[in-house]
Amino acid sequence: MSVTKRRVGLSSRSLGEMGHTWWQRLGLWISIFGILIVTGCGSPNTVAVTPPTESIDTSTSVSTSIRIAESPGFAIDYRVTSQWGNGFTAEVTLHNSSAEPIPAWTLNWTFPQTQTQITNLWNGTHSQSGSQVTVSNLSHNSLIPAGGSINFGFQASYPGGDLTTPVEFVFNGQPLSQPTPTPAALACLVDYSISSSWNEGFVANLTIRNLGGSVTGWTLGFDFPTDGVTITNLWNGTVTQTGRTIQVTNLDWNKTIPANGTASVGFQAAHQGGSLTPTGFRLNGVPCTGQPATPIPSTSPIPANSIIILNAPEIEGIPYLTGQTIELYASARDANNQDISSQITWTNTEGENLGTGSNLSYQAQATKAETVTAQISLGSNIKTAQVSLTADSKAVRAAAAQGVLFDVVLHPPISLTGR
């Protein structure tokens, strides 16, 4: 068997036959070399990559503006406009709601993250020493007119992770306060179980599940469906019992139930038969059905060393059927502006104790004018807030809720809606 070998290619002779001058031969070789490059000969799997024509923005835009500091007639809004791995940009707006213009301004604040460093700032001049920042006006924005506002922005680097907002604002030498945030609506569920029982007694456990915003200072109310159940011992709280109705108030160490958090209470009780499962669980007056309170009580901040019934405006003038439960909410703060609402005591016109804590479930009585008082002791000083209710055989109406705080009234209270 013979094999014929054939060389494939272009010999020098064939090239000579295609062109007889040296420049013709050179041109032909250049053409062949170009063809080999285009077809990828000798360079398999070669892929041409075209660079992108547009840059990719990996930053996150945050457009929500928050009220970060305020004083009477003045407020500061803060907004993070973009954020990336180790940097962010922010906008600060100064609002002058007073009747007088502000001719010049200087703003100081502190970065909680000590490694945060401003790298660029516009519409102002700035200096920074560690975590302390000072920003002053330029000539074109020195004046903040009455009822007007100005803003400036900055870019900063920070160590990464969760981005914290500035604190300790001082405007023109005056410290500003941090606004009291509006708490989320209260919503809750209660898990109840009997761990042991015998002929005339039982032990039960309750777990309060907070499905709304954080709660500081709480009272859990519930009712036994039958008479004859008496709580003889309770732990993780203090208890008051009136007939079938129970109210459990927090201790100091468990007064706060964070959002999505829980608090547990247990008790031992004697009974005379019948159902041992309570009904009508309510946390600070809100039924524990898993749904927010409706209506949500007013959450306006109150001054230090005072007490107020928060939802009095909501119940004013609303008719209530005799026997219907009226939920009252109160808030109190001491001289240091600390919340002491859990120490509130509620009394009726006769001075009888109706309950303790920040809320009261009051059941309207027929043919009776009633003044309900929320009271707090601040050392030797006693502060009270009142709401007057008038009842007849058809309905109960809530009177004007004294939005003004006052000391203990020594003369008999006057019903604002007496018949």
Model confidence pLDDT, tens digit, residues 143-194:
999 999 999 999 999 887 767 789 999 999 999 988 765 556 678 999 999 9
Query: Which of these ranges, 144-158, 201-215, 368-382, has the smallest mean pLDDT?
Result: 368-382
Which residues neighbour 402 within 8 Å (Cβ) at sequence distance 6 or greater? 309, 312, 385, 386, 387
Better-predicted residue by pLDDT, 414 or 310: 310
Are residues 155 and 196 located together in one domain of the fold? no
* Residue 67 pLDDT grade (very low, low, confident, very high; cuts 50, 70, 90): confident
Which residues neighbour 73 within 8 Å (Cβ) at sequence distance 6 or greater? 96, 97, 98, 99
pLDDT tens sequence across 319-333: 565 666 677 878 888
Note whether 69 and 174 are within 8 A (CB).
no
Domain annotation covers residue 58: no
Are residues 211 and 113 located together in one domain of the fold? no
Q: How many CB atoms lie within 10 A of CB 66?
A: 12
Give the residue-averaged pLDDT of 292-313: 63
Q: Is the pTM of this model over 0.95?
A: no
Domain annotation covers residue 104: yes
Distance CA(341)–CA(123), nearest Å, equals 45
pLDDT given at position 393 = 53
Give the residue-averaged pLDDT of 106-131: 92
Query: Which of these ranges, 22-26, 99-103, 184-188, 197-201, has the smallest mean pLDDT?
Result: 22-26
pLDDT given at position 330 = 80
Look at phi and psi of residue 42 and say left if phi exceeds 0, alpha if psi is from -120 to 50, else beta: left
pLDDT given at position 302 = 60
Domain annotation covers residue 124: yes
Domain annotation covers residue 142: yes
pLDDT given at position 358 = 76
Last residue in a domain, options 287, 316, 331: 287
Structure tokens at 48: 């041409």
Domain annotation covers residue 2: no
Q: What is the distance between the terminal CA atoms of the chain, rounded to a whole angstrom?
A: 132
Residue 204 has pLDDT above 80, yes or no: yes
Domain annotation covers residue 20: no
pLDDT given at position 328 = 80
pLDDT given at position 409 = 35
CATH of the domain at 89: 2.60.40.290
Are residues 274 and 192 located together in one domain of the fold? yes
Are residues 281 and 334 located together in one domain of the fold? no
Query: Which of these ranges, 130-139, 222-231, 243-252, 367-376, has the smallest mean pLDDT?
Result: 367-376
Better-predicted residue by pLDDT, 102 or 187: 102
Distance CA(81)–CA(192), nearest Å, equals 47
Residue 406 has pLDDT above 90, yes or no: no
Distance CA(242)–CA(361), nearest Å, equals 12
Better-predicted residue by pLDDT, 371 or 394: 371
Last residue in a domain, options 255, 287, 319: 287
CA 40 distance to own-chain centroid: 63
DSSP state of 34: H
Are residues 256 and 334 located together in one domain of the fold? no
pLDDT given at position 342 = 75
Please count the structural domains in the chain: 3
Are residues 209 and 242 located together in one domain of the fold? yes
Residue 104 has pLDDT above 90, yes or no: yes
Are residues 277 and 344 located together in one domain of the fold? no
Distance CA(317)–CA(399), nearest Å, equals 6
Last residue in a domain, options 127, 145, 175: 175
pLDDT tens sequence across 89-100: 999 999 999 899
Distance CA(26)–CA(10), nearest Å, equals 14
Distance CA(168)–CA(182), nearest Å, equals 20
DSSP state of 350: T
Note whether 330 and 307 are within 8 A (CB).
yes
Are residues 352 and 283 located together in one domain of the fold? no
Nearest 5°: phi and psi at 116?
A: -70, 130
Are residues 382 and 326 located together in one domain of the fold? yes
Are residues 198 and 275 located together in one domain of the fold? yes
Give the alpha-carbon dihedral of 225, 227, 229, 230, to 10 degrees: 130
CATH of the domain at 322: 2.60.40
Domain annotation covers residue 357: yes
Which residues neighbour 404 within 8 Å (Cβ) at sequence distance 6 or greater? none
pLDDT given at position 269 = 96
Name the residue range of residue 207's domain: 188-287
Domain annotation covers residue 38: no
* Residue 112 pLDDT grade (very low, low, confident, very high; cuts 50, 70, 90): confident
Give the alpha-carbon dihedral of 337, 343, 344, 347, to 10 degrees: -160
Mean pLDDT of the chain: 75
